[in-house]
Amino acid sequence: MADQDLSPSPTDAHASLSRRDTALLALLSGVTVANAYYIHPIIAEVGEHFDVSPAQIGLVPAFNQMALALGIFLLLPLGDRISNRTLSIVLASLQTLALLVMAVAPSFAVFVTASTLLGFVTIVPYLVPAYASKRAPAKELGRVTAFLTAGVIVAILLARVGAGIIAHWAGWHMVYAVAAVLMAGVTMAIPFIMEGRAKDRPPPPSIGYFALVGSTLTLLAKYPRVILSGAIQALNFGMFLVVWLGLAFHLTSAEMGYGTDTVGYLAAITVVSIFATPRLGRWADRVGPYRARLILSTVQAFGILLYWPTGSSLWLLMIPLMITNIVGPTIDVAGRMTFLSLEPAIRTRLMTGYIILMFSGAGIASWGAPVAYDIGQWHGIAGLCAAMSLTIVLLSWLGLRSQDS
């Protein structure tokens, strides 16, 4: 494979990123990414307030995610042209403004418009890994990336739980008011969290904006490892959504007889990845991203194959859920490690392509899950996940074989 050189960039030799710095970057990523998940537990209450149908209120998360994908394509490449710190301050400020509008929105049209803008400018969580990779030594890239990933996982979990509690006691408006205050706080802290040293600033732009955005596609063609890693993560993240959407249908079915609250309680299993991901990230540093990804995807496939025989018992389902939530996030970490050690000036655009591929998989999977359940109920979900997981193993093996050749 022509792009297999993983030698550290010139900046890596002098880079440093303390545990405190990493923790602050994880906090920044978490607070900014959480904004997309507050709507999940309160979507019915918001719909009732604006007197809109479930189909209409469903436009809120749908437009938010579509705008996020568009924002990643149009805005994230600017991280290779503008200081990551400056760009993060601007985008975080816009997130704060969007959250304030959502908190006081007088109509559904205003609310959905603000939510769509919020999705479009939610780019900071994807700028941070590229910024961190410029400061972390190559030998610690797995640990740092894993810690940032764990921060995002914690934020998603707390967003869902916290929004439900706040809305129950103070109404859904307060959810977005609190979110705006949190965003205002981290926005003011960014100058202290993300340093503005000269080596962290991209070189003066030599090409125009549209050429810069278009160069993302050119770089993907030049570095096929990013396409492969993006395809694997598209399947990996998509499979995660298929499982949890499938559980929402399955556990509340007449066969299982549980309420929707049970699905929420079960989501707490994802907390295991908070502890496992940083440790597995350090292990991936030692064995290498390609080999680590193959091993992890094989373990994950074993867990996925258990979904079929354990589907009739909530307690037995926890076994494959535990396995997949332990190893799944580190597959993402290993995928990012395959290209975040390349030239700093192109890392943000490479991350752009990777994330777009990931969300493309998420969109297809979100549609595929209800179709699979409609066709074969839980067995349909398990079968779809098995096919996706085995494909991940195959692609991971091809990646290792190409990298070693």
What's 256's domain CATH number?
1.20.1250.20
Please give the pLDDT value at position 66.
79
On whether both 196 and 214 belong to a single domain, the answer is no
On whether both 57 and 158 belong to a single domain, the answer is yes
Please give the pLDDT value at position 2.
41
- Eight-state DSSP code of residue 6: -
Position 4 in a domain: no
Q: Which domain holds residue 241?
A: 207-405
Position 405 in a domain: yes
Position 136 in a domain: yes
Q: Which two tokens stand for residue 296?
A: 């992890």
Looking at the structure of the chain, the number of domains it has is 2
Per-residue CA distances from 319 to 182, 293, 304 (Å) = 36, 21, 10
Q: Kindly tell me if the per-residue pLDDT of 163 is higher than 60.
A: yes
Position 258 in a domain: yes
> How far is residue 224's CA from residue 201's CA, in Å, rounded to a whole number?
26
Please give the pLDDT value at position 242.
78
Q: Kindly tell me if the per-residue pLDDT of 59 is higher than 70.
A: yes
pLDDT digits (tens, 9 = 90+) for 300-345: 999 999 999 998 888 998 899 889 888 888 898 888 888 877 777 7
Please give the pLDDT value at position 9.
43
Per-residue CA distances from 360 to 195, 250, 268, 324 (Å) = 33, 25, 26, 21
Q: Which two tokens stand for residue 375?
A: 């066709």
The last residue of a domain, from among 152, 179, 206? 206
Position 31 in a domain: yes
Whole-structure pTM value: 0.68
Give the DSSP letter string of 296-350: HHHHHHHHHHTHHHHTT-HHHHHHHHHHHHHHHHHHHHHHHHTTTTS-HHHHHHH
On whether both 228 and 325 belong to a single domain, the answer is yes
Question: Mean pLDDT across the chain, nearest whole number?
Answer: 81
Give the DSSP letter string of 199-262: GGSPPPP-S-HHHHHHHHHHHHHH-HHHHHHHHHHHHHHHHHHHHHHHHHHHHTSTTT---HHH
On whether both 179 and 114 belong to a single domain, the answer is yes
On whether both 119 and 216 belong to a single domain, the answer is no
On whether both 186 and 247 belong to a single domain, the answer is no
The answer to whether the CB of 68 falls within 8 A of the CB of 36 is yes
Nearest to 245 by CA among 403, 88, 39, 384: 384
On whether both 193 and 213 belong to a single domain, the answer is no
On whether both 346 and 285 belong to a single domain, the answer is yes
The answer to whether the CB of 227 falls within 8 A of the CB of 218 is no
On whether both 240 and 388 belong to a single domain, the answer is yes
On whether both 141 and 216 belong to a single domain, the answer is no
The last residue of a domain, from among 206, 232, 253? 206
Position 256 in a domain: yes
Residues 6+ apart with CB under 8 A from 89: 187, 190, 191
The answer to whether the CB of 106 falls within 8 A of the CB of 54 is no
On whether both 201 and 318 belong to a single domain, the answer is no
Torsion sign, CA atoms 8, 10, 16, 21: negative
The last residue of a domain, from among 206, 233, 266? 206
> How far is residue 31's CA from residue 16's CA, in Å, rounded to a whole number?
24
pLDDT digits (tens, 9 = 90+) for 367-402: 677 678 778 889 998 999 999 999 999 999 998 988
Average pLDDT (37-48) is 74
pLDDT digits (tens, 9 = 90+) for 190-208: 988 887 554 455 555 556 7
Q: Kindly tell me if the per-residue pLDDT of 232 is higher than 50.
A: yes
pLDDT digits (tens, 9 = 90+) for 80-112: 678 888 899 999 999 999 999 999 999 999 999
Position 3 in a domain: no
Position 1 in a domain: no
